[in-house]
């Protein structure tokens, strides 16, 4: 990662920002700021003298205005669960963190419009619960949902397990309120499903990783809450079978297919061994599995028969090897716990090099075969590890160090393994980041693969909105 060489923020500015924020709205000192400096991934720790925690949009704007006047760099932050070092300050004490974690009010629920309007600091799970209390569904769902916040979800265009049916965050946001890098407030908090009055500005901030402004509120889409659902754990022989199974399930059950996760055996072993409370859902061991949810309106249990029939047909056609349908809500939760624990299971196995790639769904099998062969050829004995969202072509393809290798030795191969895997991704016209974003960790890699035309366009947008370059510099796009 490129070092930050900017000068530390001067004491006079730190004092002025503390005065603008007021008591209780800032943190300073190494211990107090640590939770905002520390990354969930690899234990990376950045540095800052000041974490600002405004409670309102107006307070955020006042802080940003001061920073704009004095060219002080800002790192926007929400729940700090991001995985690309995008939300941490860098090393040189040259940035202040502006966290939206105290902006956590649900502003309005409009059931007639099926929308909820929330502050950017509301925890994702709280939005899901508020929707559920009104028999609605907010479908964004991911492992970090108890601590990530909607401003961060929007800024990373988060995906998760229900993208297949409901789309990613881009598809779930109708309106935004943003404090721009000069301190002005853009009020785009409209709950419209149709609006053809010019460029769709909100889409610049969705997935913008905090490089264009600070999102302070959003209008989100709600859906009817499914009343019938089933969860199945299905054994397949290969990724190719999982893709064939997805087609078969969509043909038979249509939109009811809401989650469809591909899971390699190795990650099941790592998770059973490394994270308490998990055990094998099947007696026999199989090389690959699919964890599938179907859901719809209708009487509870009404999907059991159609799902059983669809799976029986798949078994007859040779598309699956075995399947179990969860017999209770508890069993379904246990299967999903295993999926959610996989990141921890992999960590417990030690030394994995993560990739968050996507390829066209029809290329998944070829990608896995080619990447396995190439990584194995370069690192004999590497343990192949892979799980992800088949319906979106998004795989977390994470080779784990060969037995006997020290973790540090394997991690030194980070860049080399990235390049092997990403070259194959690009050959399939895929993406090197399907859901976690670029942040700092994939900055060089992104510039390596983006065309000059695409880089020009990205830089033109950044320059137009943030000419002084104070919003999250050194993240996502290098000027």
Ligand X SMILES: Cc1cc2nc3c(=O)[nH]c(=O)nc-3n(C[C@H](O)[C@H](O)[C@H](O)COP(=O)(O)OP(=O)(O)OC[C@H]3O[C@@H](n4cnc5c(N)ncnc54)[C@H](O)[C@@H]3O)c2cc1C
8 Å CB contact between 146 and 173: no
Q: Minimum distance between the CB of residue 298 and ligand X, rounded to whole angstroms?
A: 27
Strands 322-325 and 257-264: unpaired
Q: How many residues does the chain have?
A: 479
Write each residue from 426 to 445 as x if it is in contact with ligand X (CB under 6 A), else as -, in one continuous string.
---------xx--x------
CA–CA dist 243, 240 (Å, integer): 5
* C-alpha span between 359 and 30 (Å, rounded): 42
**Residue choice 33, 48, 57, 80 for contact with ligand X (CB under 6 A):** 80
One of 21, 51, 120, 256 touching ligand X (CB under 6 A): 120
Q: Indicate which single residue of 17, 96, 100, 354 sits in contact with ligand X (rule: CB under 6 A).
A: 100
Q: Which is nearer to ligand X, 116 or 343 (CB)?
A: 343
Stretch that binds ligand X, among 27-35, 148-156, 235-243, 374-382 (CB under 6 A): 148-156
Stretch that binds ligand X, among 17-25, 144-152, 321-329, 410-418 (CB under 6 A): 144-152
Could you give the CA distance from residue 168 to residue 14 in angstroms, rounded to a whole number?
38
Segment 315 to 344, residues that bind ligand X, using CB under 6 A: 343
What is the closest distance, in whole angstroms, from the C-beta atom of residue 369 to ligand X in the complex?
24
Contact status: 83 vs ligand X (CB under 6 A)? yes
| Nearest approach, Cβ of residue 74 and ligand X (Å) | 9
Is residue 40 within the footprint of ligand X (CB under 6 A)? yes
Nearest of 374, 470, 411 to residue 89 by alpha carbon: 470
Q: Which residue number is nearest to ligand X in terms of Cβ?
A: 152
Query: Distance of alpha carbon 457 from its chain centroid, rounded?
Result: 24
Give min distance, CB of 168 to ligand X, in A: 8
- Is 60 a residue that touches ligand X (CB under 6 A)? no
E-state strands within 266-345? 288-296, 322-325
Binding of ligand X by 469 (CB under 6 A): no
Is residue 91 within 8 Å of 39, Cβ to Cβ? no
Kindly tell me which of 148 and 314 has the beta carbon lying closer to ligand X. Answer: 148
Burial 252-285 (b: 16+ CB within 10 A, else e): bbeebbbbbbbbbebbbbbbbebbeebeebeeee
The binder of ligand X chosen from 93, 174, 215, 314 (CB under 6 A): 215
- Only one of the segments 149-157, 250-258, 278-286, 358-366 lies at the binding site for ligand X (rule: CB under 6 A); that segment is 149-157
Q: Of the ranges 74-82, 105-113, 225-233, 419-427, which one interacts with ligand X (CB under 6 A)?
A: 74-82
**How far is 479 from 460, CA to CA, in rounded Å?**
10
- Per CB under 6 A, does 164 bind ligand X? no
* Candidate segments 15-23, 109-117, 137-145, 404-412, binder of ligand X by CB under 6 A: 137-145
Distance in angstroms (rounded) separating the CA atoms of residues 261 and 162: 10
Tokens of 191: 């709950």
Options 150-158, 258-266, 345-353, 376-384: segment touching ligand X (CB under 6 A): 150-158
Instruction: Closer to ligand X by CB, 422 or 440: give it.
Output: 440
Options 33, 48, 57, 77; binder of ligand X; rule CB under 6 A: 77
Contact of 470 with 181, CB cutoff 8 Å: yes
- Rounded to whole angstroms, the Cα distance separating 345 from 83 reads 16
Binding positions for ligand X, 380-409, rule CB under 6 A? none
Distance CA(189)–CA(187), nearest Å, equals 6
Looking at the DSSP assignment, which residues form a beta bridge with residue 141?
A: 160
Give which of 112, 105, 90, 92 is closest to 46, Cα–Cα: 90
* Residues of the shown chain interacting with ligand X in the complex, contacts defined by CB under 6 A: 40, 75-83, 86-87, 100, 120, 142-144, 148-149, 151-153, 155-156, 158-160, 209-210, 214-215, 343, 435-436, 439, 472, 475
């Amino acid at each position: 990662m490129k070092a930050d060489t900017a000068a530390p923020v001067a004491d006079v500015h730190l004092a002025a920002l503390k005065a603008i924020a007021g008591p209780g709205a800032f943190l300073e000192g190494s211990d107090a700021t640590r939770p905002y400096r520390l990354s969930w991934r690899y234990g990376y720790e950045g540095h800052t003298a000041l974490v600002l925690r405004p409670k309102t949009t107006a307070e955020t704007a006042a802080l940003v205005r001061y920073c704009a006047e004095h060219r002080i760099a800002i790192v926007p932050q929400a729940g700090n669960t991001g995985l690309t070092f995008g939300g941490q300050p860098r090393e040189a004490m040259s940035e202040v963190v502006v966290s939206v974690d105290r902006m956590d009010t649900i502003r309005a629920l409009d059931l007639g419009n099926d929308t909820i309007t929330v502050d950017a600091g509301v925890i994702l799970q709280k939005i899901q619960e508020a929707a559920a209390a009104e028999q609605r569904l907010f479908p964004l769902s991911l492992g970090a949902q108890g601590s990530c916040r909607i401003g961060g979800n929007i800024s990373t265009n988060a995906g998760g397990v229900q993208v297949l049916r409901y789309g990613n965050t881009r598809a779930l946001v109708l309106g935004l309120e943003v404090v721009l890098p000069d301190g002005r407030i853009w009020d785009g908090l409209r709950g419209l499903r149709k609006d053809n009055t010019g460029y769709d500005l909100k889409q610049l901030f969705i997935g913008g990783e905090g490089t264009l402004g600070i999102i302070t509120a959003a209008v989100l889409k709600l859906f009817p809450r499914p009343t019938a659902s089933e969860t199945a754990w299905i054994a397949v022989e290969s990724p190719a079978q999982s893709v064939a199974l997805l087609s078969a399930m969509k043909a038979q059950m249509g939109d009811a297919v809401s989650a469809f996760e591909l899971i390699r055996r190795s990650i099941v072993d790592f998770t059973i061994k490394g994270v308490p409370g998990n055990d094998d859902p099947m007696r026999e061991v199989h090389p690959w599995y699919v964890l599938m949810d179907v859901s719809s309106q209708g009487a509870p249990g009404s999907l059991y028969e159609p799902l059983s029939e669809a799976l029986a047909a798949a078994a007859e056609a040779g598309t699956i090897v075995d399947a179990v349908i969860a017999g209770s809500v508890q069993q379904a939760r246990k299967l999903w716990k295993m999926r959610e624990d996989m990141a921890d299971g992999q960590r417990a196995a030690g030394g994995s090099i993560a990739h968050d790639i996507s390829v066209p769904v029809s290329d998944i099998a070829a990608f896995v075969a080619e990447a396995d062969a190439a990584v194995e050829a370069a690192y004999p004995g590497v343990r192949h590890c892979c799980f992800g969202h088949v319906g979106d072509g998004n795989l977390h393809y994470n080779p784990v160090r060969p037995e006997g290798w020290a973790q540090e030795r394997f991690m030194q191969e980070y860049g080399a393994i990235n390049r092997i895997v990403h070259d194959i991704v690009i050959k399939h016209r895929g993406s090197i980041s399907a859901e976690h974003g670029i942040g700092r960790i994939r900055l060089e890699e992104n510039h390596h693969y983006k065309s000059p035309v695409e880089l020009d366009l990205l830089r033109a947008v950044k320059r137009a909105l943030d000419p002084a370059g104070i919003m999250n510099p050194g993240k996502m796009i290098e000027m």
